[in-house]
Amino acid sequence: MENTVSLFSYNTLKKFMFAFDPETAHTIAGFGLRILPHFPVIQRALANHYFVSDPVLKQELFGRTFRNPVGLGAGFDKNGQYITAMPALGFGFTEIGTVTPEPQDGNPKPRLFRLIEDQSIQNAMGFNNKGKEYMLEQLNKLYFFDYPIGINIGKNKTTAEEHALKDYEVLFEAFKEYGDYIVINISSPNTPGLRDLQNEQFINDIFAMAKSITDQPVLLKIAPDMTPEDAITLCTTAVNAGAAGIIATNTTIDYSLTPHAKDFGGISGALLTEKSYELFKAIGKELHDKTLLISVGGIDSAEEAYRRIKAGASLVQVYSMLVYKGPALIKEINEGLIKLLKNDGYNHISEAIGADWK
């Protein structure tokens, strides 16, 4: 099986993929992930190679078993088409979406860019997706698939800010029986007015509404482009209003991070690492013992993942760095975490969560 995996060297694949524009490359990769379950021998070989399962990393969260703490961040699998392929890449869970009530094309192309010198990606996709009905069709195909799934939800671009709550209500109703947690996305920079919803009134309103519809754990995903004080206030408001957790952070619109940036869209990847960590650290200090925290943004190594865990993260997510390093990164992070935990005398990941503040 090792030989089977070696045939698919990611460096070889990356050279091929990087010959295409980023969105075309994503479509090609997506096609491969969609057909992978039809080749169970290959899928099994990949999973045997990449998936790390160890009692040290296993956690029971949201009433589900997470066999390792490294998940796929939202935005890669916008329509829930690659769910069954994700364990073969080594991920312990996946987050699908962002899904909106109605299908939408997103922003005009080109809208996805590689910042290769910075090991980063800039996107202005704009919640392009096939809508809730298509997503429900994908979820209904899963049957006996036993794997943690988060569903990331957002409003349609054409929905006015004053009617945004209705879009989220429609989505809570649609997905209340699906997945293992739901994420409120009001932090993407690519839908006009969306980040304006990151205010205490809207947070209180949306969590009150969510609680009246679903028993699913509902999390809030926040942007990195706010002060630590504002982030703590917003997250505390969400937790007090019933949030089951916080995901930090989305992409940044701090274009001063690199001379290679466009003046639109959000930046993810290595450029986001420190900005995301610093905001997460502030949130973790305040909330690590009050709610579940998921860290995302420029995580490219076991050491970086461990830094987020010690700052308060129960789970971490990867997206952009997967493009540059491939699924070997997920395996390296998980295997590296086991070593780091044991080196520090921990018998289980739970002992290290928030260790910086204990």
Report d(CA 171, CA 139) in Å as an integer: 14
pTM score: 0.96
- The active-site residue out of 120, 187, 188, 276 is 188
Q: Kindly report the three-state secondary structure assignment for every residue of 180-222.
A: CEEEEECCCCCCCCHHHHCCHHHHHHHHHHHHHHCCCCEEEEE
User: What sign for the dihedral angle of Cα 90, 95, 96, 98?
Assistant: negative
Report whether 74 belongs to an annotated binding site. Answer: yes
Q: Are the C-beta atoms of residues 262 and 113 closer than 8 Å to each other?
A: yes
Asked if residue 75 belongs to a known ligand binding site, the reply is yes
Residue 125 among known ligand-binding residues: yes
CB 35 within 8 A of CB 43: no
319 annotated as ligand-binding: yes
Half-sphere exposure of 193 (CA within 13 A, CB side): 11
**Side-chain-side CA neighbours of residue 47 (13 Å):** 17
Residue 41 makes CB contacts below 8 A (sequence gap 6+) with 4
Cis bond upstream, residue 98 (ω within 30): yes
Q: Is 4 annotated as a binding residue?
A: no
- Tell me whether residue 98 is annotated as binding: yes
Query: What superfamily does domain 2-357 belong to in CATH?
Result: Aldolase class I (3.20.20.70)
Q: Is 212 known to be catalytic?
A: no
Distance of CA 172 to CAs 184, 213, 247, Å?
A: 10, 7, 18
Question: Would you say 190 is a known binding-site residue?
Answer: yes
Residue whose tokens read 């075309």: 24
Q: Please list, residue by residue across 170-208, b when 16 or more beta carbons sit within 10 angstroms of its beta carbon and e when fewer do.
A: bbbebbeebbbbbbbbbbbbbbeebbebbeeebbebbbe
**Angle at 279 (CA atoms; ends 274, 282), nearest 5 degrees:** 125
Domain boundaries, the chain: 2-357
* 124 is annotated as contributing to ligand binding: yes
pLDDT in tens, the chain (358 residues): 444 444 457 888 888 899 999 999 999 999 999 999 999 999 999 999 999 999 999 999 999 999 999 999 999 999 999 999 999 999 999 999 999 999 999 999 999 999 999 999 999 999 999 999 999 999 999 988 999 999 999 999 999 999 999 999 999 999 999 999 999 999 999 998 899 999 999 999 999 999 999 999 999 999 999 999 999 999 999 999 999 999 999 999 999 999 999 999 999 999 999 999 999 999 999 999 999 999 999 999 999 999 999 999 999 999 999 999 999 999 999 999 999 999 999 999 999 999 999 9
